[in-house]
Amino acid sequence: MKISELLKEKATISFEVFPPKNKEGDISSIYYTIEELAKLDPDFISVTYGAGGSSKGKTVEIASAIKNKYQIESVAHLSCITSTKEDILTECRALKEHNVDNILSLRGDYPAGEEEKYRGMDLEFHYASELNGFIRENFGDSFCLSGACYPEVHQEADCFRDDLEALKKKVDAGAEYLITQIFFDNSYYYRLVKEARKIGIDVPILAGIMPVTNAKSLLRTAKLCGCSIPFQLSTMIETYYNYPEAMKEIGINYAAHQIIDLITNGVDGIHIYTMNKPEIAQRIFGNIPTVLKELNHD
Ligand code: FAD
């Protein structure tokens, strides 16, 4: 089923997982993660795509298992910056063969340390909007496409307005809903939605929430994603930096508070970056079961 169809009926709750990284290339631990997340009855689970296509076979395999073995809708992330058109055709055909109907269509980033190599090359794709166009051209409407968006502006964009105009192009090229980059201050999400609507971006915008349960990783992730840390949260981090259990409680409760506020304000959907830690998602759900029901999700 296409996620765009689901979004016509209700605001969704979804999770993101990534193919486990280990030397042996063994991904079996993901199945425990999915089984635990399945207990929370999500509307869909998305699977990331490693930078430079490093996890491509695994993304298809995991997205297929979510859909065919666990009977949960799945979304396969697919990035294009280092891909040829032939690579994309191969990837999309594999997704079709496995009945995966949904693609989160991304530009992606160059693999770390290989920026110079790619900058000198004649790339076949430059933006996610081109990937959308290419998939539509070759597969018609058979996939539901979605895209990424950035409440605090994509790091390479000069300003909010330019990024918003680029987002409009991505939607016009076929993105049927959007998922945000993480943010810790909901005002950025509300600004994005308000300004997007003004320029005719009227597809659902799902809020990407990351419960960060470790001070070091919170600071690293925020820097990587270009997202700001509100004063209140940074004070908590400073105070509890050396208390991992307290940081976990803070991360879970902060995310739960963000979600309550978003639901109160009519969010189109909540997408939780689980970091393959289902117990954290379970604890968030355990804290706010009734609020989540308000999202038509019982
Ligand atoms: P684009 O939409 O192409 O935008 C990239 C930049 O170009 C922006 O600055 C934009 O303003 C500008 N731009 C876009 N179109 C135009 C245009 N037509 N003209 C001029 N400028 C333009 N990365 C992975 O490698 N794997 C993943 O699985 C993955 N999943 C993600 C999931 C979500 C929800 C999010 C928010 C991000 C994810 N990323 C992932 C990271 C993403 O690949 C990076 O943020 C990347 O830098 C941008 O990808 P994009 O698809 O948003 O790019």
Phi, psi of 214 (to 5 degrees): -145, 125
Beta strand 205-209 pairing with 177-180:
parallel
* Confidence (pLDDT) at 53: 65
Q: What is the DSSP string of 268-294?
A: SEEEEE-TT-HHHHHHHHHH-HHHHHT
Per DSSP, the three-state class of 50 is: coil
Q: Which amino acid is at 67?
A: K
Answer yes or no: pTM beyond 0.90. yes
Specify the residue with its C-alpha closest to ligand 1, atom 4.
Answer: 127
Q: What is the DSSP letter of 127?
A: S
Cα(236) to centroid(ligand 1), Å:
31
Annotated catalytic residues are: 16
For ligand 1, atom 21, name the residue with the nearest CA: 166
Say what the pLDDT of residue 113 is. 84
The ipTM (two decimal places) reads 0.99
Instruction: Measure the CA–CA gap between 154 and 160, rounded to whole angstroms.
Output: 8
Query: What structural domains and CATH numbers belong to the chain?
Result: 3-295 (3.20.20.220)
pLDDT in tens, the chain (298 residues): 999 999 999 999 999 999 998 777 788 999 999 999 999 999 999 999 987 667 768 999 999 999 999 999 999 999 999 999 999 999 999 999 999 999 999 999 988 888 888 877 889 999 999 999 999 999 999 999 999 999 999 999 999 999 999 999 999 999 999 999 999 999 999 999 999 999 999 999 999 999 988 999 989 999 999 999 999 999 999 999 999 999 999 999 999 999 999 999 999 999 999 999 999 999 999 999 999 887 865 4
For residue 238, give every residue at least 6 positions away whose Cβ sits within 8 Å of its Cβ, in sequence order, or none: none
Q: Which atom of ligand 1 is nearest to the CA of 155?
A: 9
From the CB of 248, is ligand 1 less than 6 Å away?
Answer: no
Instruction: Kindly compute the dihedral angle of the four CA atoms of residues 294, 66, 251, 244, in this order, to the nearest 10 degrees.
Output: 150
SS3 103: strand
Measure the CA–CA gap between 158 and 172, rounded to whole angstroms: 21
pLDDT at residue number 297: 53
Q: CA 118, CA 116: separation in Å to the nearest integer?
A: 5
Which atom of ligand 1 has the smallest separation from the CA of 106?
Answer: 51
118 phi/psi in degrees, rounded to 5: -75, -35
Parallel, antiparallel, or unpaired for β 12-17 and 144-149? unpaired
Q: Give, using CA atoms, the residue closest to atom 9 of ligand 1.
A: 157
